[in-house]
Amino acid sequence: MVNKAAKSFTGITLSGVQSIFRKELIQLIRDPYLVIFIITLPIIQLVITGLAISKDLKHVDTVVCNYDKRNASIELLKAFHNSTFFDISDGNYVDTEDDVIRLVNSGKYRVGVVIPPNYSNQVLTESEQAEVTLVLDGTNGSVAKGILNAANLVVANHARVVMNAITLQDIGQSSPLGMVTLTLNNPEMKTSYFLIPGILAIIMHMMTIMFTSFAIVREREAGTLEQLMVTPIRITDLMVGKVLPYVAIGFMDMILTLAVMVWFFNISISGNFWFLCVASIIFIVTSLGIGLVISTVCRSQVQAVQLSMFLLIPSFLLSGFTFPLEPMPWIIKIVSYALPLTYYMEIIRGVVIKGTGFNELWLNTLVLTGMAVLLVVASITRFKKQVA
Protein backbone atom coordinates (compact mmCIF):
# COMPACT_ATOMS: atom_id res chain seq x y z
CA MET A 1 0.00 0.00 0.00
CA VAL A 2 2.77 2.39 0.87
CA ASN A 3 4.53 3.55 -2.21
CA LYS A 4 7.90 5.11 -2.38
CA ALA A 5 7.30 8.75 -3.01
CA ALA A 6 7.31 9.02 -6.76
CA LYS A 7 9.61 11.49 -8.42
CA SER A 8 7.91 14.81 -8.62
CA PHE A 9 6.11 15.41 -11.86
CA THR A 10 7.57 18.84 -12.27
CA GLY A 11 11.21 19.87 -12.33
CA ILE A 12 13.66 18.91 -14.98
CA THR A 13 16.05 16.00 -15.38
CA LEU A 14 19.00 15.73 -17.69
CA SER A 15 18.22 12.11 -18.59
CA GLY A 16 14.64 12.94 -19.55
CA VAL A 17 15.66 15.87 -21.72
CA GLN A 18 18.43 13.79 -23.28
CA SER A 19 16.09 10.93 -24.21
CA ILE A 20 13.64 13.25 -25.93
CA PHE A 21 16.39 15.33 -27.55
CA ARG A 22 18.10 12.26 -28.98
CA LYS A 23 14.85 10.89 -30.35
CA GLU A 24 13.99 14.25 -31.87
CA LEU A 25 17.39 14.46 -33.58
CA ILE A 26 17.09 10.97 -35.06
CA GLN A 27 13.65 11.82 -36.41
CA LEU A 28 14.95 15.05 -37.87
CA ILE A 29 17.83 13.33 -39.64
CA ARG A 30 15.48 10.62 -40.95
CA ASP A 31 13.60 13.31 -42.83
CA PRO A 32 16.15 14.67 -45.31
CA TYR A 33 13.57 16.89 -46.97
CA LEU A 34 12.90 18.60 -43.69
CA VAL A 35 16.62 19.17 -43.13
CA ILE A 36 17.05 20.67 -46.61
CA PHE A 37 13.93 22.71 -46.05
CA ILE A 38 15.14 24.05 -42.73
CA ILE A 39 18.51 25.09 -44.10
CA THR A 40 17.61 26.43 -47.52
CA LEU A 41 14.19 27.94 -46.99
CA PRO A 42 15.29 30.97 -44.95
CA ILE A 43 18.14 31.68 -47.35
CA ILE A 44 15.94 31.41 -50.43
CA GLN A 45 13.26 33.55 -48.82
CA LEU A 46 15.75 36.20 -47.85
CA VAL A 47 17.43 36.26 -51.25
CA ILE A 48 14.17 36.41 -53.18
CA THR A 49 12.44 39.02 -51.08
CA GLY A 50 15.69 40.92 -50.65
CA LEU A 51 16.28 41.07 -54.39
CA ALA A 52 12.67 41.96 -55.06
CA ILE A 53 12.71 45.01 -52.83
CA SER A 54 16.33 46.03 -53.16
CA LYS A 55 15.73 47.06 -56.76
CA ASP A 56 16.32 50.72 -56.02
CA LEU A 57 15.14 53.49 -58.22
CA LYS A 58 17.44 54.07 -61.13
CA HIS A 59 16.86 55.43 -64.63
CA VAL A 60 13.24 56.37 -64.14
CA ASP A 61 11.88 57.48 -67.51
CA THR A 62 10.93 61.15 -67.09
CA VAL A 63 8.64 63.31 -69.16
CA VAL A 64 9.63 66.98 -69.46
CA CYS A 65 7.93 70.21 -70.38
CA ASN A 66 10.41 73.06 -70.60
CA TYR A 67 8.68 76.45 -71.08
CA ASP A 68 11.97 78.25 -70.50
CA LYS A 69 14.16 76.51 -73.09
CA ARG A 70 17.23 78.61 -72.18
CA ASN A 71 20.64 77.47 -70.96
CA ALA A 72 19.90 77.60 -67.26
CA SER A 73 16.95 75.23 -67.57
CA ILE A 74 18.85 72.92 -69.90
CA GLU A 75 21.61 72.73 -67.27
CA LEU A 76 19.05 71.69 -64.65
CA LEU A 77 17.65 68.95 -66.89
CA LYS A 78 21.18 67.72 -67.56
CA ALA A 79 21.65 67.50 -63.79
CA PHE A 80 18.51 65.40 -63.55
CA HIS A 81 19.73 63.09 -66.31
CA ASN A 82 23.29 62.83 -65.03
CA SER A 83 22.12 61.87 -61.56
CA THR A 84 21.24 58.44 -63.09
CA PHE A 85 18.00 58.48 -61.13
CA PHE A 86 16.18 60.02 -64.08
CA ASP A 87 16.32 59.29 -67.78
CA ILE A 88 15.48 62.14 -70.13
CA SER A 89 15.88 61.26 -73.77
CA ASP A 90 14.96 63.45 -76.77
CA GLY A 91 11.57 61.83 -77.15
CA ASN A 92 10.57 62.72 -73.61
CA TYR A 93 9.80 66.40 -74.27
CA VAL A 94 6.23 67.61 -74.54
CA ASP A 95 4.83 71.10 -75.14
CA THR A 96 2.44 71.77 -72.27
CA GLU A 97 2.10 71.07 -68.58
CA ASP A 98 -1.25 69.42 -69.32
CA ASP A 99 0.54 66.87 -71.53
CA VAL A 100 2.87 66.04 -68.67
CA ILE A 101 -0.04 65.54 -66.27
CA ARG A 102 -1.90 63.44 -68.83
CA LEU A 103 1.08 61.19 -69.53
CA VAL A 104 1.86 60.65 -65.85
CA ASN A 105 -1.79 59.99 -65.13
CA SER A 106 -2.00 57.42 -67.91
CA GLY A 107 0.89 55.55 -66.33
CA LYS A 108 3.24 55.97 -69.31
CA TYR A 109 5.65 57.88 -67.09
CA ARG A 110 6.05 57.75 -63.37
CA VAL A 111 7.32 61.27 -63.10
CA GLY A 112 7.36 64.54 -65.03
CA VAL A 113 9.28 67.80 -64.68
CA VAL A 114 7.79 71.16 -65.61
CA ILE A 115 10.07 74.21 -65.89
CA PRO A 116 8.28 77.57 -65.81
CA PRO A 117 8.86 80.20 -68.59
CA ASN A 118 10.65 82.65 -66.32
CA TYR A 119 12.94 80.03 -64.76
CA SER A 120 16.18 81.45 -66.18
CA ASN A 121 15.34 84.97 -65.12
CA GLN A 122 14.48 83.92 -61.62
CA VAL A 123 17.62 81.83 -61.21
CA LEU A 124 19.92 84.41 -62.72
CA THR A 125 18.50 87.48 -61.07
CA GLU A 126 17.40 85.75 -57.90
CA SER A 127 14.39 88.01 -57.79
CA GLU A 128 12.39 85.20 -56.39
CA GLN A 129 12.77 81.46 -55.86
CA ALA A 130 12.37 79.52 -59.08
CA GLU A 131 9.75 76.85 -58.80
CA VAL A 132 10.22 73.67 -60.77
CA THR A 133 7.15 71.43 -60.68
CA LEU A 134 7.60 67.73 -60.14
CA VAL A 135 4.60 65.70 -61.34
CA LEU A 136 4.55 62.42 -59.48
CA ASP A 137 2.51 59.25 -59.80
CA GLY A 138 1.61 58.48 -56.18
CA THR A 139 0.10 55.07 -56.82
CA ASN A 140 3.00 53.30 -55.18
CA GLY A 141 3.80 55.41 -52.19
CA SER A 142 7.27 54.14 -51.51
CA VAL A 143 8.32 54.47 -55.16
CA ALA A 144 6.92 58.00 -55.26
CA LYS A 145 8.75 58.87 -52.09
CA GLY A 146 11.96 57.50 -53.52
CA ILE A 147 11.56 59.59 -56.66
CA LEU A 148 10.76 62.68 -54.63
CA ASN A 149 13.86 62.20 -52.51
CA ALA A 150 15.98 61.75 -55.61
CA ALA A 151 14.51 64.88 -57.18
CA ASN A 152 15.14 66.88 -54.01
CA LEU A 153 18.71 65.69 -54.01
CA VAL A 154 19.24 66.67 -57.64
CA VAL A 155 17.65 70.08 -57.15
CA ALA A 156 19.61 70.79 -54.00
CA ASN A 157 22.90 69.86 -55.63
CA HIS A 158 22.09 71.91 -58.64
CA ALA A 159 21.13 74.88 -56.48
CA ARG A 160 24.56 74.77 -54.92
CA VAL A 161 26.18 74.73 -58.37
CA VAL A 162 24.05 77.65 -59.51
CA MET A 163 24.84 79.63 -56.38
CA ASN A 164 28.57 79.05 -56.67
CA ALA A 165 28.64 80.08 -60.29
CA ILE A 166 26.50 83.17 -60.14
CA THR A 167 26.12 84.60 -56.70
CA LEU A 168 29.39 83.93 -55.01
CA GLN A 169 29.23 87.25 -53.33
CA ASP A 170 25.87 86.54 -51.74
CA ILE A 171 26.71 83.13 -50.37
CA GLY A 172 24.64 83.67 -47.25
CA GLN A 173 21.50 84.18 -49.28
CA SER A 174 18.74 81.59 -49.40
CA SER A 175 18.87 78.98 -52.13
CA PRO A 176 17.46 79.93 -55.46
CA LEU A 177 16.02 76.43 -55.93
CA GLY A 178 14.95 75.04 -52.60
CA MET A 179 16.41 72.71 -49.94
CA VAL A 180 16.44 69.04 -49.37
CA THR A 181 16.65 67.03 -46.16
CA LEU A 182 19.49 64.57 -46.18
CA THR A 183 18.51 60.99 -45.26
CA LEU A 184 20.63 59.69 -42.37
CA ASN A 185 21.98 56.10 -42.17
CA ASN A 186 21.00 55.38 -45.71
CA PRO A 187 22.91 57.91 -47.85
CA GLU A 188 22.53 55.84 -50.97
CA MET A 189 18.77 55.81 -50.38
CA LYS A 190 18.85 52.03 -50.61
CA THR A 191 15.58 50.68 -49.26
CA SER A 192 17.16 47.23 -49.02
CA TYR A 193 19.49 48.52 -46.36
CA PHE A 194 16.54 49.19 -44.16
CA LEU A 195 14.32 46.25 -45.14
CA ILE A 196 16.64 43.25 -45.26
CA PRO A 197 17.36 43.04 -41.51
CA GLY A 198 13.58 43.25 -41.03
CA ILE A 199 12.94 40.42 -43.47
CA LEU A 200 15.54 38.39 -41.63
CA ALA A 201 13.70 38.93 -38.35
CA ILE A 202 10.37 37.97 -39.90
CA ILE A 203 11.76 34.78 -41.44
CA MET A 204 13.25 33.72 -38.11
CA HIS A 205 10.00 34.44 -36.32
CA MET A 206 7.88 32.53 -38.80
CA MET A 207 10.15 29.48 -39.12
CA THR A 208 10.54 29.05 -35.38
CA ILE A 209 6.85 29.41 -34.58
CA MET A 210 5.85 26.96 -37.32
CA PHE A 211 8.42 24.29 -36.49
CA THR A 212 7.79 24.28 -32.76
CA SER A 213 4.03 24.29 -33.04
CA PHE A 214 4.32 21.33 -35.43
CA ALA A 215 6.70 19.48 -33.12
CA ILE A 216 4.09 18.78 -30.46
CA VAL A 217 0.94 18.85 -32.57
CA ARG A 218 2.47 16.17 -34.82
CA GLU A 219 2.84 13.86 -31.81
CA ARG A 220 -0.68 14.61 -30.74
CA GLU A 221 -2.00 13.83 -34.22
CA ALA A 222 -0.04 10.58 -34.50
CA GLY A 223 -1.20 9.43 -31.05
CA THR A 224 2.41 9.17 -29.86
CA LEU A 225 1.80 11.88 -27.28
CA GLU A 226 -0.74 9.70 -25.51
CA GLN A 227 1.78 6.88 -25.39
CA LEU A 228 4.38 9.28 -23.99
CA MET A 229 1.99 10.48 -21.32
CA VAL A 230 1.63 7.01 -19.78
CA THR A 231 5.38 6.94 -19.17
CA PRO A 232 6.84 8.67 -16.12
CA ILE A 233 8.39 11.42 -18.30
CA ARG A 234 8.16 14.89 -16.78
CA ILE A 235 6.40 17.45 -18.85
CA THR A 236 9.18 19.99 -18.51
CA ASP A 237 11.67 17.39 -19.78
CA LEU A 238 9.40 16.61 -22.68
CA MET A 239 8.95 20.24 -23.69
CA VAL A 240 12.59 21.22 -23.26
CA GLY A 241 13.84 18.11 -25.04
CA LYS A 242 11.50 18.70 -27.95
CA VAL A 243 12.29 22.37 -28.26
CA LEU A 244 16.07 22.37 -27.89
CA PRO A 245 16.77 21.06 -31.40
CA TYR A 246 14.65 23.88 -32.75
CA VAL A 247 16.56 26.49 -30.77
CA ALA A 248 19.69 25.11 -32.39
CA ILE A 249 18.12 25.12 -35.84
CA GLY A 250 16.73 28.60 -35.33
CA PHE A 251 20.14 29.90 -34.35
CA MET A 252 21.82 28.18 -37.26
CA ASP A 253 19.29 29.69 -39.65
CA MET A 254 19.95 33.03 -38.04
CA ILE A 255 23.70 32.81 -38.71
CA LEU A 256 23.11 31.60 -42.27
CA THR A 257 20.76 34.44 -43.13
CA LEU A 258 23.06 36.98 -41.51
CA ALA A 259 25.86 35.64 -43.70
CA VAL A 260 23.66 36.06 -46.78
CA MET A 261 22.90 39.60 -45.69
CA VAL A 262 26.56 40.48 -45.21
CA TRP A 263 28.09 38.77 -48.24
CA PHE A 264 25.26 38.69 -50.75
CA PHE A 265 23.57 42.01 -50.07
CA ASN A 266 26.73 43.76 -48.86
CA ILE A 267 25.09 45.05 -45.71
CA SER A 268 27.63 44.91 -42.93
CA ILE A 269 26.73 44.71 -39.26
CA SER A 270 27.79 48.06 -37.85
CA GLY A 271 27.12 47.15 -34.21
CA ASN A 272 28.25 44.39 -31.88
CA PHE A 273 27.80 40.96 -33.43
CA TRP A 274 27.80 39.13 -30.08
CA PHE A 275 25.09 41.32 -28.65
CA LEU A 276 23.04 40.56 -31.76
CA CYS A 277 23.60 36.81 -31.20
CA VAL A 278 22.43 36.93 -27.59
CA ALA A 279 19.41 39.04 -28.45
CA SER A 280 18.61 36.69 -31.33
CA ILE A 281 18.66 33.62 -29.09
CA ILE A 282 16.29 35.36 -26.70
CA PHE A 283 14.06 36.23 -29.65
CA ILE A 284 14.14 32.62 -30.89
CA VAL A 285 13.10 31.38 -27.44
CA THR A 286 10.24 33.88 -27.45
CA SER A 287 9.11 32.63 -30.85
CA LEU A 288 9.40 29.07 -29.53
CA GLY A 289 7.17 30.04 -26.64
CA ILE A 290 4.52 31.23 -29.07
CA GLY A 291 4.87 27.99 -31.03
CA LEU A 292 4.47 25.96 -27.84
CA VAL A 293 1.38 27.87 -26.76
CA ILE A 294 -0.11 27.27 -30.21
CA SER A 295 0.69 23.57 -29.90
CA THR A 296 -1.17 23.30 -26.60
CA VAL A 297 -4.26 24.81 -28.20
CA CYS A 298 -4.33 23.00 -31.55
CA ARG A 299 -5.40 19.44 -32.27
CA SER A 300 -4.04 19.21 -35.80
CA GLN A 301 -1.22 20.63 -37.90
CA VAL A 302 -3.74 22.43 -40.11
CA GLN A 303 -5.10 24.26 -37.10
CA ALA A 304 -1.56 25.09 -36.06
CA VAL A 305 -0.83 26.69 -39.44
CA GLN A 306 -4.03 28.70 -39.30
CA LEU A 307 -3.40 29.97 -35.81
CA SER A 308 0.24 30.79 -36.63
CA MET A 309 -0.90 32.83 -39.62
CA PHE A 310 -3.44 34.62 -37.47
CA LEU A 311 -0.60 35.71 -35.20
CA LEU A 312 2.01 36.31 -37.87
CA ILE A 313 0.05 38.70 -40.08
CA PRO A 314 -0.33 41.41 -37.41
CA SER A 315 3.35 40.88 -36.65
CA PHE A 316 4.26 41.66 -40.27
CA LEU A 317 2.04 44.72 -40.40
CA LEU A 318 2.40 46.22 -36.96
CA SER A 319 5.96 45.46 -35.88
CA GLY A 320 7.32 48.49 -37.69
CA PHE A 321 8.47 46.35 -40.59
CA THR A 322 5.89 47.59 -43.09
CA PHE A 323 4.71 50.83 -41.53
CA PRO A 324 6.52 53.11 -39.12
CA LEU A 325 5.21 52.88 -35.55
CA GLU A 326 5.19 56.59 -34.70
CA PRO A 327 2.12 57.72 -36.64
CA MET A 328 -0.02 54.76 -35.53
CA PRO A 329 -3.05 55.48 -33.33
CA TRP A 330 -2.45 54.58 -29.67
CA ILE A 331 -4.74 51.58 -29.71
CA ILE A 332 -2.77 50.00 -32.57
CA LYS A 333 0.45 50.93 -30.81
CA ILE A 334 -0.64 48.83 -27.84
CA VAL A 335 -0.98 45.84 -30.17
CA SER A 336 2.40 46.66 -31.74
CA TYR A 337 4.15 46.71 -28.41
CA ALA A 338 2.53 43.42 -27.42
CA LEU A 339 4.30 41.73 -30.33
CA PRO A 340 7.80 40.35 -29.66
CA LEU A 341 8.75 41.06 -33.28
CA THR A 342 8.43 44.81 -32.66
CA TYR A 343 11.18 44.72 -30.04
CA TYR A 344 13.46 42.50 -32.05
CA MET A 345 12.89 44.58 -35.18
CA GLU A 346 14.30 47.57 -33.31
CA ILE A 347 17.22 45.52 -32.03
CA ILE A 348 18.29 44.06 -35.36
CA ARG A 349 17.86 47.34 -37.24
CA GLY A 350 19.65 49.21 -34.51
CA VAL A 351 22.61 46.85 -34.43
CA VAL A 352 22.93 46.32 -38.18
CA ILE A 353 22.19 49.80 -39.49
CA LYS A 354 22.91 52.26 -36.73
CA GLY A 355 25.50 50.31 -34.81
CA THR A 356 23.69 50.65 -31.51
CA GLY A 357 24.19 48.09 -28.77
CA PHE A 358 23.10 47.01 -25.31
CA ASN A 359 23.29 50.54 -23.89
CA GLU A 360 20.54 51.75 -26.18
CA LEU A 361 18.62 48.49 -26.56
CA TRP A 362 18.67 47.03 -23.05
CA LEU A 363 14.97 47.73 -22.54
CA ASN A 364 14.04 45.83 -25.71
CA THR A 365 16.24 42.93 -24.63
CA LEU A 366 14.65 42.92 -21.19
CA VAL A 367 11.11 42.95 -22.55
CA LEU A 368 11.93 40.08 -24.94
CA THR A 369 13.43 38.06 -22.08
CA GLY A 370 10.31 38.65 -19.99
CA MET A 371 8.09 37.57 -22.87
CA ALA A 372 10.17 34.43 -23.44
CA VAL A 373 9.89 33.38 -19.79
CA LEU A 374 6.18 34.16 -19.67
CA LEU A 375 5.37 32.23 -22.85
CA VAL A 376 7.39 29.15 -21.94
CA VAL A 377 5.93 28.99 -18.43
CA ALA A 378 2.42 29.54 -19.78
CA SER A 379 2.75 26.75 -22.32
CA ILE A 380 4.10 24.28 -19.77
CA THR A 381 1.34 25.11 -17.31
CA ARG A 382 -1.33 24.78 -19.97
CA PHE A 383 0.11 21.49 -21.13
CA LYS A 384 0.20 20.09 -17.61
CA LYS A 385 -3.42 21.00 -17.06
CA GLN A 386 -4.44 19.19 -20.22
CA VAL A 387 -2.68 16.05 -19.19
CA ALA A 388 -3.63 15.95 -15.54
- Which chain residues interact with other proteins by CB under 8 A? 1, 3, 6, 9, 15-16, 18-19, 22-23, 26-27, 30-31, 222-224, 226-233, 387-388
What φ, ψ does residue 184 adopt, rounded to 5°?
Answer: -80, 160
Strand ranges across the sheet with 111-115: 86-87, 60-66, 111-115, 133-136
Looking at the Cβ atoms of 199 and 216, the one nearer to other proteins is 216
Looking at the Cβ atoms of 235 and 285, the one nearer to other proteins is 235
Looking at the Cβ atoms of 238 and 311, the one nearer to other proteins is 238
Q: Residue 328: how many CB atoms within 10 A of its CB?
A: 15
Give the nearest distance from C-beta 201 to other proteins in angstroms: 32
Q: Which amino acid is at 40?
A: T
Looking at the Cβ atoms of 15 and 139, the one nearer to other proteins is 15
Q: How far apart are CA 95 and CA 36, in angstroms?
A: 59
Looking at the Cβ atoms of 16 and 112, the one nearer to other proteins is 16
Give the nearest distance from C-beta 5 to other proteins in angstroms: 9
CA angle 313, 316, 318 (to 5 degrees): 100
User: Does residue 379 contact residue 215 with C-beta atoms inside 8 Å?
Assistant: no
Axis-axis angle for helices 358-387, 273-297 (nearest 10): 20
Q: How far apart are CA 292 and CA 182, in angstroms?
A: 45
Give the nearest distance from C-beta 14 to other proteins in angstroms: 12
How far from the centroid of its chain's Cα atoms is residue 338's Cα?
A: 18
Looking at the Cβ atoms of 19 and 54, the one nearer to other proteins is 19
How far from the centroid of its chain's Cα atoms is residue 241's Cα?
A: 31
Give the nearest distance from C-beta 19 to other proteins in angstroms: 4
Q: How far apart are CA 59 and CA 149, in angstroms?
A: 14
Give the nearest distance from C-beta 229 to other proteins in angstroms: 6
Looking at the Cβ atoms of 29 and 313, the one nearer to other proteins is 29
Looking at the Cβ atoms of 16 and 320, the one nearer to other proteins is 16
Task: Say which residues have a Cβ less than 8 Å from residue 256's Cβ, sequence separation at least 6.
Answer: 39, 42, 43
Give the nearest distance from C-beta 251 to other proteins in angstroms: 24
Q: How many helices (H) and strands (E) does the chain have?
A: 14, 4
Give the nearest distance from C-beta 213 to other proteins in angstroms: 19
Give the nearest distance from C-beta 8 to other proteins in angstroms: 9
User: Does residue 296 contact residue 381 with C-beta atoms inside 8 Å?
Assistant: no
